[in-house]
Amino acid sequence: MASGGGNNRIGTHRNSLKGTTTTSTASTDKPLSVNSNPSKPAFKNKSSPLTGASSGLRKSSPGSLGGGAAKDDAGVPGRVRVAVRLRPRNAEESVADADFADCVELQPELKRLKLRKNNWDTDTYEFDEVLTEFASQKRVYEVVAKPVVEGVLDGYNGTIMAYGQTGTGKTYTLGRLGEEDTANRGIMVRAMEDILAEVSPEIDSVLVSYLQLYMESLQDLLDPTNDNISIVEEPKSGDVSLPGATLVEIRDQQSFLELLRLGEAHRHAANTKLNTESSRSHALLMVHVKRTVKGREPAHSSDNGNSTSMARSLRPPLVRKGKLVVVDLAGSERIDKSGSDGHTREEAKSINLSLSALGKCINALAENSAHVPVRDSKLTRLLRDSFGGTARTSLVITVGPSPRHRGETASTIMFGQRAMKVENMLKLKEEFDYKSLARRLDIQLDKLIMEHERKQKAFEVEIERITAEAQNRISEAERNYADAVETERLKYQKDYMESIKKLEEKWMMNQQNQGNERKEQMVHIAEEVAEVKKLLSKETSLRKAAKEEVYNLKSQLAQLKMSEASANSEILKLRKMVEDEVCQKQKLEGEILMLQSQLLHLSFEANETRKRLDGGGPGKVPGGEDSPVSQVRSQLKDSGNGEKASVAKLFEQVGLQKILSLLEAEDADVRIHAVKVVANLAAEETNQQKIVEAGGLKSLLMLLGSSKDETIHRVAAGAIANLAMNEKNQELIMSQGGISLLSTTASHAKDPQTLRMVAGAIANLCGNDKLQTKLRGEGGIKALLEIVKCGHPDVLAQVARGIANFAKCESRASTQGSKTGRSLLIEDGALPWIVQNANSDASPIRRHIELALCHLAQHEVNAKDMISEGALWELVRISQDCPREDIRTLAHRTLASSPDFIAGLKRLRIDY
């Protein structure tokens, strides 16, 4: 249908209309104004929203809703949009109404429709869109349907509905497939094209139901057997669903067209069966578009296994579910309720029920009535979301141009006008698709299980394969091994057989050779055997002899070894003996020395005895002098040349140093003999100096201190006494602690001879003028007074000699004036003993004491003590009875010269 033709025709119609005089009385010139009938509802209702359905719908698109429509329960207002479409005159009308003008006049730019009441009067209505008879299907789609389709794609419900008298082009507008000319494609086809172009087949889905509502029964056009589908309304959301309806998933346009064709065929068949026309039934196409919100779609690349995609795969996808309902209503013309068209009255009522209920509902909604009778019909129940609900609804009312149907046209226009007042609240149908998530997870799980099973299987197969391969290899190896063993065995067997064969050949050859030579050889061999036997027996006897020889040699060797050992021990013994001999020799030398000294001593003693026998007789003190020294000296003098010579000889032979060293010998006897020899030597004045120089004096003094042997003490003291005759030696003795040593020796002595020697030594020291004080200081006088306790006359004689010596020295010192004060003898308490022994029977004692008394009396300081101790009597006796004249005279002179003595004599009445 060329639009150009349409244009011309309309123009023709208008012109003809204007120029035609009909039943109308009004002037054709009368200008028509939109305000000509202000009381009309169209004018009252028209208001600001009518700024173009298209742009209005676009403004309320999801983009402007902020994307959060699911949370916005209130939704956004969205009025039902209404477009009017005028069908061009058809052939019949062109003929029949040729003389009449169209009953409607459109002003598309003003979106107005003028309905001619009569020749002079028109009513003007404003619509959201006014589509002329020239409007292309494309334009109609874009104006009426596209915004709704876009809304559905964005998650809103949408309704596109055609209302109008039968034959005005509802089906043409909605349901043309455009097979003959794609330009004729209707809204359904174009809507699906747009939907399919937008959705992603992997994540989105498009499901279609196609139904027919006739006489309140809902039939499935995709499954004609299903002719009583029930409507289920969810009380909470108010959503309507048809669980019994077939849902076909649409993936491409072609399948959709086929589905529409199938539906149409079924519709036709059903109508034939029911003896009706399609114009009496309502056709409903329902398109469920489910889209996953971008960015919330499931992760398809889950194989990557990264955590982000894993997390995303566990998030339920956010889906938007838009439902597009395209409703091709039954013809809106009033049907004959008389049932003249073959229907009963009741049937006629029922046929019209849904449509009239829709009208009532729209009226109620338009008037904001409290009650909307939605539940009065199935159609209103099905369309509850489309009017007064949440859907974006676009209504196209179709009208024909024929004035013959002016009434129906007017009624259609009024329907449209009322529908325009219906306000919906658009709501985004967005939700989390838990089912899908669960399904997806199930799928994923299945996949994983499958994968696992697959891998398990593969693993098992691999294991089997490896096992089989291993088995093969093992058996192959075993085979190879067996083969190798067999080969080896055969080889060896062969070698063995060959060797045997060779040996046999050799043996055969040998046998042959031997056969010839054997006889000769036998003879020869017998001879050789005899020879060898002989040699063998010889050899045997030789070996036997050799064995014996070896045995002998061995025993000899053992003997030799033994004798060597004994020789060694013998050598050791001899060595020891030699050493012992050396020791013995040394000992013997010592003994010789000792014997020599003993000999000397014995000869000394013998000499002494002989002298005694030859000389003074018994009781007489030997020698002319009192001191033992002089005795010894005289003994030596008189002992004859023999003795002297023996000592001198000894002295020469042994040497002084050697003799002195023997003083320290370990052997006590050696020491005794040595000290005796030294004593003998010391008796000789010529030796004294040598002995002292060689350290003999020191050794002798040491012996006094160290030895416990009294003989040694005695002989050593005698030697010291002899050495003490020399003034120089006296000083040495004193300086080497002689007094102390001599005192100690005296205190331990038991033999009077020892005491005699000690006393003699001290007596000699007492005769030294220089040593007076020191000697007394070291206890010399006290020691002498201790010694006298022994009472032996020889000892007492020596003590008396010492006292006399001391008194003589004191007297000399006093005379010289170097000594003042009382005598030290008196100081040390010697006076009583002097007085007591002054008249001793032993002449040596008496003589020494008389001399001592005379010396003491020389000095006046001693007089008083002497008088008080009874010495005066002794002095008187000495002066009268002393056999020595010089002493008698001295005593006398002393008594006569001392005033104290004179006074004492007087007092004692001694007449002198």
Q: Which residues bind ligand ADP (CB under 6 A)?
A: 1, 87-88, 90, 164, 166-172, 279, 331, 398
164 binds, among ligand ADP, Mg ion, none (CB under 5 to 8 A by kind): ligand ADP
Judged by DSSP in three states, 669 sits in helix
Residues shown for the chain: 912
* Spatial separation of the C-alpha atoms in residues 294 and 432, rounded to whole Å: 13
Q: Which amino acid is at 741?
A: L
Please answer whether residues 668 and 709 qualify as being in contact, where contact means their C-beta atoms are separated by less than 8 angstroms.
yes
Distance CA 101, CA 682 (A): 205
Sort strands 158-164 and 318-328 into parallel, antiparallel or unpaired. Answer: parallel
Q: What b/e string do you get for 549-571 counting C-beta neighbours within 10 Å, with b at 16 or more? A: eeeeeeeeeeeeeeeeeeeeeee
87 and 399 Cβ atoms separated by less than 8 Å: yes
Smallest gap from residue 276 Cβ to ligand ADP (A): 14
Work out whether strand 232-233 and strand 282-292 pair parallel, antiparallel, or are unpaired.
unpaired
Contact between 414 and 390 under an 8 Å Cβ cutoff? The reply is no
Number of helices (H) and strands (E), helices first, in the chain? Answer: 34, 17
Residue 363 makes contact with Mg ion by CB under 5 A = no
Shortest reach from residue 12's CB to ligand ADP, in Å: 16
Nearer to ligand ADP by Cβ, of 139 and 690: the residue is 139
With respect to Mg ion, which residue has the nearer C-beta, 159 or 639? 159
End-to-end CA distance of the chain: 222
Q: Which residues contact 667 (CB under 8 A, 6 or more apart)?
A: 590
Q: Is 767 annotated as a binding residue?
A: no
165 has binding-site annotation? yes
Print the binding letters for residues 153-182 with Mg ion: x by CB under 5 A, - otherwise: -----------------xx-----------
> Whole-angstrom Cα distance, residue 801 to residue 789?
16
* Residue 282: contacted member of ligand ADP, Mg ion, none (CB under 5 to 8 Å, by partner type): none
168 binds, among Mg ion, ligand ADP, none (CB under 5 to 8 A by kind): ligand ADP
| Contact residues for 298 (Cβ-Cβ < 8 A; gap 6+) | 203, 292, 312, 313, 317, 436, 437, 440
Nearest distance from C-beta of residue 329 to ligand ADP, angstroms: 9
- Partner whose footprint covers residue 839, from ligand ADP, Mg ion, none (CB < 5 to 8 Å by kind): none
Residue 186 contact among ligand ADP, Mg ion, none, beta carbon within 5 to 8 Å by kind? none
**Separation between Cα atoms, residue 697 and residue 656, nearest integer Å:** 13
Is residue 213 helix, strand or coil?
strand
62 binds, among ligand ADP, Mg ion, none (CB under 5 to 8 A by kind): none
**Minimum CB distance to ligand ADP smaller for 169 or for 388:** 169
Neighbouring C-beta atoms of residue 406, cutoff 10 Å:
19
Helix axes 696-706, 685-693, angle to 10 degrees: 80
| Nearest distance, CB of residue 164 and ligand ADP, angstroms | 6
Output the CA torsion 398→399→401→404 (10° steps): 150
Q: Is 169 annotated as a binding residue?
A: yes
Residue with tokens 């000999």: 599
Instruction: Considering the complex, state which of residue 78 and residue 175 has its C-beta at the smaller distance from Mg ion.
Output: 175
Cα 44 to chain centroid, rounded? 92
Q: How far is the CB of 283 from ligand ADP (least distance, A)?
A: 10
DSSP state of 684: S
Give which of Mg ion, ligand ADP, none residue 185 binds (C-beta under 5 to 8 Å, depending on kind).
Answer: none
**Closest distance to ligand ADP from the beta carbon of 3 (Å):** 9
Of 46 and 406, nearer to ligand ADP (C-beta) is 406
Residues touching Mg ion, count (CB under 5 A): 2
Is 342 annotated for ligand binding?
no
Taking a C-beta distance cutoff of 8 angstroms, is the pair 863, 875 a contact? Answer: no
For residue 69, the minimal CB distance to ligand ADP (Å) is 35
Query: Angle, nearest 10°, between helix axes 668-683 and 685-693?
Result: 130
**168 labelled ligand-binding:** yes
Residue 729 tokens, joined: 């030696």
Binding mask 675-704 for Mg ion (x = CB under 5 A): ------------------------------
The site string for Mg ion over 83-122 (x = CB under 5 A, - otherwise) reads ----------------------------------------
Residue 743 binds which of Mg ion, ligand ADP, none (CB < 5-8 A, kind-dependent): none
Rounded to an integer, what distance in angstroms lies between the CA atom of residue 278 and that of residue 221? 12
Residue closer to ligand ADP (CB basis): 219 or 279 = 279
Beta bridge partners of 116: 122
Residue 774: its H or E element: helix 772-777
- What DSSP designation does 80 have? P
Report residue 214: phi and psi, to 5°.
-140, 125
- Work out how close the CB of 65 gets to ligand ADP at its nearest, in angstroms, rounded to a whole number: 35
Closest CB 167 distance from ligand ADP, rounded Å? 4
Residue (145 or 856) nearer to ligand ADP, CB: 145
- Nearest to Mg ion by Cβ — which residue? 171
Question: Residue written as tokens 């001391």?
Answer: 806
* Least Cβ distance, residue 240 to Mg ion (angstroms): 24
Q: Is the dihedral of CA 251, 254, 259, 260 positive or negative?
A: positive
Closest CA to 823 of 809, 842, 836: 809
- Indicate the DSSP class of residue 771: G
Would you say 54 or 171 has its CB closer to Mg ion?
Answer: 171
The entry of ligand ADP, Mg ion, none that residue 354 binds, CB within 5 to 8 Å by partner kind: none
Query: Least CB distance from residue 134 to ligand ADP, whole Å?
Result: 9
CA distance 169 to 498: 119
Residue 730: contacted member of Mg ion, ligand ADP, none (CB under 5 to 8 Å, by partner type): none
Residue whose tokens read 């070698």 = 495
Task: Pick what 858 binds: ligand ADP, Mg ion, none; C-beta below 5 to 8 Å, kind-dependent.
Answer: none
Task: Output 170 or 418, the one with its CB closest to ligand ADP.
Answer: 170
87 binds, among Mg ion, ligand ADP, none (CB under 5 to 8 A by kind): ligand ADP
- Pick the closer one to ligand ADP by CB: 172 or 387: 172
**Rg of the chain, C-alpha, whole Å:** 91
250 and 206 in contact (C-beta within 8 Å)?
yes
Smallest gap from residue 171 Cβ to Mg ion (A): 3
Which option in Mg ion, ligand ADP, none does residue 388 bind, with CB closer than 5 to 8 A by kind?
A: none
Question: Which of 113/594 has CB closer to ligand ADP?
Answer: 113
Residue 166 known to bind ligand: yes
Shortest spacing between CB 397 and Mg ion, in angstroms: 14
Q: How far is the CB of 35 from ligand ADP (least distance, A)?
A: 30
CA distance 395 to 384: 14
Residue number, 166 or 597, with CB nearest to ligand ADP: 166
Asked if residue 167 belongs to a known ligand binding site, the reply is yes
Residue nearest to ligand ADP (CB): 169
Q: Indicate the angle between helix axes 668-683 and 434-614, nearest 10 degrees.
A: 40
Q: 122 or 137, CB closer to ligand ADP? A: 137
Question: Which partner, ligand ADP, Mg ion, none, binds residue 90 by CB below 5 to 8 Å per kind?
Answer: ligand ADP
The residue among 379 and 662 lying less far from ligand ADP, judged by its C-beta, is 379
Report the interface residues with Mg ion, using CB under 5 A.
Answer: 170-171
Residues marked as binding for ATP?
164-171
**Annotated binding site: which residue ranges?**
164-171
